[in-house]
Amino acid sequence: MSEMWINMGPQHPMTHGLWNLRVRIEGELIRDVDPEMGYLHRGIEKISEDRHYNEVITLMDRCCYVAGLAWEHLYIRAAEQALHVDPPERAEYLRVLCDEFQRLGSHLMWYAAFVQDLGLMSPFLYGMRDRDLVLDLFQSYTGARMTYEYMRVGGVRNDLPPGFTASARKVLDWLSDRFREYDQLCLGSTIFRKRCDGLGVLKGPDAVHHGVTGPMLRSAGVKRDLRKDRPYAVYGQLDFDVAFADGADVTARYLVRMEEMRQSVRLLRQVLDWLDRHPGPVIAEHLPRWLGAPYAPIGLEGYLLKRNYPKGVGFSAVEEPHGEALAYVVNEGGEHPYRVKFRSPVFANLSAARTYLVGYHVADIPPIMGSVDVCVGEVDR
């Protein structure tokens, strides 16, 4: 058959979000791909220039619907550096708690979507079911299931409710059992292995070259994890291993993500133990309260410029569930950030699509793109 272009998206079951993968196929073979982004572009970076520092947090949750807290953490760290604010230690632990639970939630969501792409129907619901418990935990202390708005410049909004750590430990126990079940359903299936082995290969040097990060990079044997290499928050004080694999294919990415979930459970147990033992304030005491709610005289233009607040530039790097996320916040002394720039890991992972898609079959696109774990909200921002 002669070659033809097909549009996989923006409304397509494979895309998991609004984007368009244009594929040039010859028969069932992929000859070329061209991802088209921008269907979900909301101009978050632009809107941020028009908002107070704390109000930007509401946008961060909309960056990625499965990793809202990780994005909040990312932005907050940059904003704190730009505004010269230091959070208390308990807030840092709470943020790590958020981050790791978010990683669990995000990877469970990824698992569900990924197996769904392969046609596995029941594990899809198992993944969603177990993610719901993580969302329950989020709801119990942030007050929302997806758009958390939990972190604040200088700390977090509120402390954990009583009894939270006990519930969280139960959820962790339950999840640890489920991981075995997931492996039986996926790795234990010949068809799964035949579908995933040797698929979407992106070797380590290529991955580094194309800016690919996160589980995709670690599945190629490159042990780069910002939590280990450049410990932020309190990751330096916690004990965990970097999950990695050598296969550089879809199966390897599956293995890396499953191992990351296990490591997250391990991290979370340490964090919960620490939180049990160390009560304390969760928001910085000497905090300029014009920063936003509560009791903020915000909305009055030019107020901060009169106060000569020190300028600054903030930069933060966070290992988001999808990979390396960066934020760059420029504070020019106003009550709004002058410029906010984010680096989305999926953005770079998608930009390398040609390297890991060309040469495979049309039927391989869903598992490969599933193993990339596309979250369009943070690509388009």
Partner 1 sequence: MQPADLEQALRPRLGEHLLGVEPFEGTAGKVRFDRSAAVATFRALHDELGFTHLAMIGGIDWVAHREVVYTLWSDAAKQYVFLSTTVPADDAHVESASGVWPSANWHEREAWEMVDITFDHHPDLRHLLMPDGYAFHPLLRSFKLHEPEELEVKVRHV
Partner 2 sequence: MTEEGAPGAGTTTEENPVLYVARPMATAARQFVKSLVRPSTIVYPYERLEDPRFRTEVAVASGRPIGVGQVWDNYRGVHALNIATCISCNLCAFSCPDLCIEMVTVPGPDPKKPKKCPQIDYGKCSYCGFCSDACPEGCLTMTTRYELSTPRRAEMVYSPQRLFDVFRSKLPMNPIRLERPENEDRILLDPPLCIGCNACARDCPTQCITMVDVPKTDPKPGQKPAKRIWKEPVVNDSDCVRCGTCISVCPKECLFWGGPP
Partner 3 sequence: MSSATLYSVSYDLSHTLLFALGGLIGGPLGRLLENGDLVTGIGVLVFAALLLAASMLNTIVLIWYERKLLGRFMDRRGAMHVGYAGLLQNFADGLKLFRKHTTRPREADEVGFYFGPTAYLVTSLMIFGILPISTGWNSGPMPLSLLLALVIFSFAPLFIFVSAWSSNNKYSLMGGLRSAAQMIAYEVPLLLAVVAVVVVAGSFSLTTIVYEQQNYWFWGPLIVALIVFVAAMLAEMERIPFDLPEAEAELVEGWNTEYGGMLFAFFMLADYLRALVGSILIVLLFLGGWTLPTWLPGSLTAWPLAGIFWFMVKTYLVFGLFVWIRASLPRVRTDQLLRVGWNRMIPLALLSVFLAAALVTVRCVPVFGCVPSPGA
**Site residues (vs partner 1, CB under 8 A):** 5, 7, 22, 37-38, 41, 43, 45-47, 50, 81, 208-213, 222, 224, 229-230, 313, 315-317, 324, 326, 328, 330, 338-339, 341, 343, 347-348, 350-352, 380-381
Q: Which of residues 156, 201, 325, 352 is near partner 2 by CB under 8 A?
A: 201
In angstroms, the CA 266 to CA 320 distance is 17
Does 125 sit near partner 3 (CB under 8 A)? yes
Tell me which DSSP letter residue 361 carries. B
CA angle 138, 109, 271 (to 5 degrees): 40
- Choose between 46 and 194: whose C-beta lies nearer to partner 3: 194
Residues across the chain: 381
Q: Which does 341 bind (CB under 5 to 8 A by kind): partner 3, partner 2, partner 1, none?
A: partner 1
Does 26 sit near partner 3 (CB under 8 A)? no
Min dist. Cβ of residue 80 to partner 1 (A) = 11
Q: Which of residues 42, 46, 129, 209 is near partner 3 by CB under 8 A?
A: 129
Does 36 sit near partner 3 (CB under 8 A)? no
Token match 């800016």: residue?
211
Q: Which of residues 20, 81, 116, 251 is near partner 3 by CB under 8 A?
A: 116
- Tokens describing residue 289: 């309260």
Does 2 sit near partner 2 (CB under 8 A)? no
Does 2 sit near partner 3 (CB under 8 A)? no
CB 202 within 8 A of CB 252: no
Residue count at the site for partner 3 (CB under 8 A)?
Answer: 31
Which residue from 187, 325, 308 is spatially nearest to 256, judged by alpha carbons?
187
- Choose between 2 and 122: whose C-beta lies nearer to partner 2: 122
Min dist. Cβ of residue 274 to partner 2 (A) = 20
Which residue from 327, 289, 333 is spatially nearest to 311, judged by alpha carbons?
333
Token match 């895309």: residue?
15
In angstroms, the CA 223 to CA 236 distance is 16
Give the CA dihedral 53, 57, 62, 65, nearest 10 degrees.
150
- Choose between 248 and 369: whose C-beta lies nearer to partner 3: 369
Min dist. Cβ of residue 225 to partner 2 (A) = 20
Min dist. Cβ of residue 105 to partner 1 (A) = 25
The radius of gyration of the chain's CA atoms, rounded to the nearest angstrom, is: 21
Does 75 sit near partner 2 (CB under 8 A)? no
Q: Which of residues 42, 194, 223, 354 is near partner 2 by CB under 8 A?
A: 194
Q: What would the x/- binding string for partner 2 be over residues 15 to 44, using CB under 8 A?
A: --------------x---------------
- Choose between 223 and 361: whose C-beta lies nearer to partner 1: 223
Does 139 sit near partner 2 (CB under 8 A)? yes
What is the footprint of partner 2 within residues 349-378 (CB under 8 A)?
358-361
Min dist. Cβ of residue 161 to partner 1 (A) = 33
What is the footprint of partner 3 within residues 136-195 (CB under 8 A)?
185, 189, 191-192, 194-195
In angstroms, the CA 70 to CA 332 distance is 25
In angstroms, the CA 216 to CA 351 distance is 13
Helices (H), the chain: 44-48, 56-63, 68-83, 89-117, 122-142, 164-186, 190-196, 204-209, 215-218, 226-229, 250-277, 303-307, 345-351, 353-357, 365-372, 376-380
Q: Which does 362 bind (CB under 5 to 8 A by kind): partner 1, partner 3, partner 2, none?
A: partner 3
Does 373 sit near partner 3 (CB under 8 A)? no
Which residue from 58, 67, 100, 97 is spatially nearest to 322, judged by alpha carbons?
67
Does 57 sit near partner 2 (CB under 8 A)? yes
In angstroms, the CA 193 to CA 16 distance is 23
Min dist. Cβ of residue 127 to partner 2 (A) = 12
In angstroms, the CA 321 to CA 89 distance is 23
Does 115 sit near partner 3 (CB under 8 A)? yes
Residue 6 phi, psi (nearest 5):
-125, 150
